[in-house]
């Protein structure tokens, strides 16, 4: 899964369960992205996605590289628990039943700022033609492509399939759009609005200059490692925790991105200063009081 890619995203609403619902517009986008191996300990593998784009300006010139820290995926072999999304900006640590751990991998998907998004358990299947991993069904927060245009539902209930191909890999999503009612439970009438299919195609490329992304990764990874360590401490101390707002909708990530940009520009990394900044930012900007469990 690591390497240089052209990645395209396609999402299509294929079923609507409410006849009065207006059809959702298909979503398409693409970018050029380097996937870095952040950690590989055999039973734990972490991959960091970083977009490196150039655009043609009005005068015909090509811009300097635009670097965007994208999502992160972490794979843990035979994990005994995972961090599950339960709606209303709340996550809870749930055990993986002992009988379902053997041979399984838990994939945790993190936001651009390394805050949690969702996690799911599945098993890799290896055949003569391809290798594929299929997840259990999990709840997940709305992505930007949805919350920026929709406000009539609150959770995606979906499963993922990752398939390794000769030229890269493909992520398929099968998602139900779920509206919540009082107390964070599915509403009583027509809780599911629609079903969508999504495909992200990672096509390996050559000749694209990803050096700006390499620089960003090398200079900022020590800082982001401390951010992840802080989240692990929160998850250990509080099996259930909530955020004040969705990370990207509320712009919670802005201070972290500004701190990281200073490191890209040459600021010396001071681990003690970074830890104080991270702990203060999480306490003052991210963490909220817990809602009543559904």
- In tens, the pLDDT along 160-181 reads 999 999 999 999 999 999 999 9
Give residue 178's domain range. 3-204
The confidence score (pLDDT) of residue 291 equals 72
pTM score: 0.95
Per-residue pLDDT reduced to its tens digit, 256-281: 999 999 999 999 999 999 999 999 99
Cα–Cα distance measured from residue 270 to residue 278, given in angstroms and rounded to the nearest whole number: 12
Which of 173, 89, 188, 79 lies closest to 135, judged by CA?
A: 173
- 116 phi and psi, to 5 degrees? -70, 150
**CA of 38: how far to CAs of 66, 123, 130, in Å?**
21, 22, 25
Number of independent structural domains in the chain:
2
Is 294 contained in some domain? no
Q: How many CB atoms lie within 10 A of CB 181?
A: 13
Grouped pLDDT means (10 residues each) for the chain, 294 residues: 98 95 93 98 98 92 95 99 97 97 98 98 95 98 92 97 97 98 93 98 98 98 98 93 90 97 98 98 91 71
Q: Which residue, 204, 219, 242, sits at the end of a domain?
A: 204
273 contact partners, CB below 8 Å, separation of at least 6:
none
Q: What is the CATH number of the domain that holds 41?
A: 2.40.128
Shared-domain flag, residues 176 and 230: no
Q: Residue 290 has what pLDDT?
A: 67
């Amino acid at each position: 899964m690591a390497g240089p890619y052209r990645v395209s995203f396609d999402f299509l609403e294929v079923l609507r369960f409410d006849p009065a619902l207006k059809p959702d517009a298909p979503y398409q986008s693409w970018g050029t992205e380097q996937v870095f191996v952040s950690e590989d300990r055999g039973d734990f593998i972490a991959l960091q996605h970083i977009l490196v784009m150039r655009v043609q300006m009005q005068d015909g010139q090509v811009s300097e590289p635009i670097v965007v820290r994208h999502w992160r995926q972490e794979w843990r072999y035979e994990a005994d628990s995972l961090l599950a999304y339960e709606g209303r900006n709340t996550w809870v640590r749930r055990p993986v039943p002992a009988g379902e751990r053997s041979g399984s991998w838990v994939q945790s998907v993190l936001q651009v700022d390394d805050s949690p998004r969702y996690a799911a358990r599945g098993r890799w299947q290896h055949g003569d033609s391809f290798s594929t991993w299929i997840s259990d069904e999990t709840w997940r927060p709305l992505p930007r492509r949805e919350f920026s245009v929709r406000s009539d539902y609150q959770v995606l209930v979906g499963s993922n399939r990752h398939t390794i191909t000769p030229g890269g890999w493909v992520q398929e999503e099968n998602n139900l759009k779920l509206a919540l009612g009082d107390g964070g439970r599915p509403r009583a009438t027509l809780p599911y609005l629609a079903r969508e299919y999504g495909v992200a195609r990672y096509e390996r490329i050559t000749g694209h200059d990803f050096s700006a992304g390499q620089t960003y990764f090398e200079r900022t990874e020590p800082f982001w490692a401390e951010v992840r360590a802080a989240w692990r401490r929160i998850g250990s101390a509080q099996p259930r925790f909530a955020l004040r707002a969705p990370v990207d909708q509320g712009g919670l990530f802005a201070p972290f991105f500004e701190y990281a940009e200073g490191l890209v520009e040459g600021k010396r990394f001071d681990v003690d200063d970074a830890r104080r900044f991270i702990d203060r930012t999480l306490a003052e900007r991210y963490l909220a009081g817990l809602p009543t469990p559904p």
